Structure 1
Amino acid sequence: MDLRSKIILIYGPTASGKSEFAIKLAKKISGEIINADSMQVYKDLKILTSRPLKKDYKNIRHHLYGFQNPNKIFSTGNWLKLANKKIKEIKSRKKVPILVGGTGLYFKALTEGLVDIPLIPLTLRNKIRKIQKKEGQKKFFKKLQKIDPLSASLINPTDTQRSIRAYEVMMFTKKSILEWYKGTKSIYKNKDFHKIIINYPRQMLIKRIQIRTRLMLEMGVIQEVKRFFKLNIAKNKSISKAIGVNEIKEFLKKMENKELLVDKISIKTRQYAKRQMTWARGHMKTWKKINPKQLNNFLKNI
């Protein structure tokens, strides 16, 4: 199997070992890695978001990790422009672009193109933001579920930014934001990609999530989040929604047992992993699924 002429896409649930696999693959086919995880683009919370550490890069170039100011909005469109530029640069060096992450919308934008949604009037946008602020995210999300169950099923209930966006698009265009995505085109052809999903058995993944959460604590994630709080990042910014931020905040207030903190973060992470695989089943039906036992054989047969 010759992958050197392809753009490699590696998707999988959190804690499935995507980064480690991507590095091994990059070493075999002379590749460079591009981040496709919406939380790992930010400068802060590298432990909490499981951003690959530079000491683990294994001399493989990594792109679009830890560069974005958390106070600024960073959209899927912003990521797509940067990713396309990096793909072009990597190919110009006769290297293989390997995109790895767990953000389904990033991969959808890359393979299918970015949606051209009509501009939403500022008056309506402000009105919807006032509604969300007045009612709170929990009640607002229930409203979104009623008017756009399709989008709501794929959005984290605590994700204010994406909830508001889906709501305003539905209200203004009378069409789900996911329906808008169907009418787009990518600058690439399907044959340009080799698409891989790391398909971890659920019970194995649960154990990995628990182990990784404990490792985060050993690496100093509580101190990292303490430093993050001092930056006074707005609560509605995407990075403030990272799994573990609220759990550690609660832990610091109540000084709970650390095992309870591990359990709380692990449960939230498991729920997120489930949503990631729900996305894969709905949007990545043609991707090649590889289970953990097949990963080494895949690398051997390249």
Structure 2
Amino acid sequence: MDFKSKIILISGPTASGKSTFSVKLAKKINGEIINADSMQVYKELKILSARPNPKDYQKIKHHLYGFHSVKKNFSTGDWLKISIKKINEIKKRKRIPIFVGGTGLYFKALTDGLVNIPNIPIRFRNKVRAIHNDLGQENFYKKLIKLDPNSKEKINPTDAQRSIRAYEVKQFTKKSLHDWFQNTKSYFEKDDFLKIYIDYPREELVRRIVKRSKKMIKFGAIQEVKKFIKLKVRKDKSVNKAIGINEIKEYLERKDMTDVIEKISIKTRQYAKRQSTWARGNMMSWLKLHPQDLNKFLKKIK
């Protein structure tokens, strides 16, 4: 396969080994790695965001990791603008850009273009989430279909994240989310991308998640959250949703270490499930690689 003209995209659920695989691939094809994870952009969340090993930075050039303050807004649009610039810089160096991460919206913005939906106030969005919590996904989905019939063909009935987004956009803008997307255009052509999704068996992924949760605590996640608390980040900032922050805050009050590891593991498993749901709906055309396929894929590269 000719990688020289490609932009490589590597996604998969959290803890699936994306970073390790991307470094091995970068060595093989003379690549540079660009972060596609919304939490790994923050400089204050090194451990909780599972930022790649510093040793890997010495081997392969990495971009967009730990460069932004948790106190400042950082949107998908901001990420896309910087990423396009990085792609051009890397290609000028005759190297291959490799995007790695688990944030589906980042990849969608890169491959499909970014929809220009007006900003929806956080209070309005929180009201929609409260409705979802009260009704549950099944009844909320029925409510969405009544409000926006277009969603029936586009959104899986079990996909809570996309259901909430479609509802808030239609309710606030009076225009269907799917109509907004029809007006988008990518900066790139479809053939510019090689898209790889690492698909881990559920049971093995759960074991990896528990192991990583323990490792985070061992290597300083509690101290990281203590520093985060002192920053007094506004509650409406999306960084507050980072897995581990609220769980460790509770631990600092109760001092139950077993409990905090279990809670972080459960939250991470739930997140991995949402990522898999997103992939089934939005990454159907991606090349699916199971763990046993990764080394075989690398060996085929000359």
Letter in 2 for 1:221: A
Partner of 2:99: 99
Partner of 1:197: 197
Partners in 2 of 1:154 and 1:168 — Cα distance? 12
Per the TM alignment, residue 239 of structure 1 is displaced from its structure 2 partner at its CA by 1.1
Q: Any conservation in 2 of the 1:199–1:292 contact (CA below 8 Å)?
A: yes
Going from structure 1 to structure 2, the CA distance change for 1:195 and 1:136 (only over 3 Å counts) comes to: closer
TM-score scaled by length of structure 2? 0.87
Aligned residue runs from structure 1 range 1-302, under 5 A:
1-117=1-117, 119=118, 129=123, 132=126, 138-139=130-131, 142=134, 146-147=143-144, 150=155, 153-155=159-161, 168-177=168-177, 179-256=179-256, 258-302=257-301
Partners in 1 of 2:300 and 2:125 — Cα distance? 55
Q: Any conservation in 2 of the 1:37–1:101 contact (CA below 8 Å)?
A: yes
CA displacement 1:70-122 (0-9 Å, x = unmatched) = 122111111100000000000000000000000000000100011122x46xx
Letter in 2 for 1:129: R
Partners in 2 of 1:136 and 1:114 — Cα distance? 23
TM-score scaled by length of structure 1? 0.87
Structure 1: gaps (5+ residues): 158-162
Going from structure 1 to structure 2, the CA distance change for 1:286 and 1:269 (only over 3 Å counts) comes to: same
Per the TM alignment, residue 55 of structure 1 is displaced from its structure 2 partner at its CA by 2.2
Letter in 2 for 1:272: Y
Partners in 2 of 1:110 and 1:46 — Cα distance? 25
Partners in 2 of 1:205 and 1:154 — Cα distance? 22
Per the TM alignment, residue 240 of structure 1 is displaced from its structure 2 partner at its CA by 1.1
Q: Any conservation in 1 of the 2:159–2:277 contact (CA below 8 Å)?
A: no
Q: Any conservation in 1 of the 2:34–2:99 contact (CA below 8 Å)?
A: yes
Going from structure 1 to structure 2, the CA distance change for 1:176 and 1:213 (only over 3 Å counts) comes to: farther
User: How many residues align structurally?
Assistant: 287
Going from structure 1 to structure 2, the CA distance change for 1:6 and 1:246 (only over 3 Å counts) comes to: same
Letter in 2 for 1:191: D
- Mean Cα deviation higher: 53-62 or 247-256: 53-62
Partners in 2 of 1:70 and 1:178 — Cα distance? 31
CA displacement 1:158-203 (0-9 Å, x = unmatched) = xxxxx6x765532233334355234311111111100000000000
Letter in 2 for 1:32: E
Identity within the alignment, %: 58
Per the TM alignment, residue 156 of structure 1 is displaced from its structure 2 partner at its CA by 9.2
Partners in 1 of 2:178 and 2:246 — Cα distance? 29
Going from structure 1 to structure 2, the CA distance change for 1:179 and 1:277 (only over 3 Å counts) comes to: farther
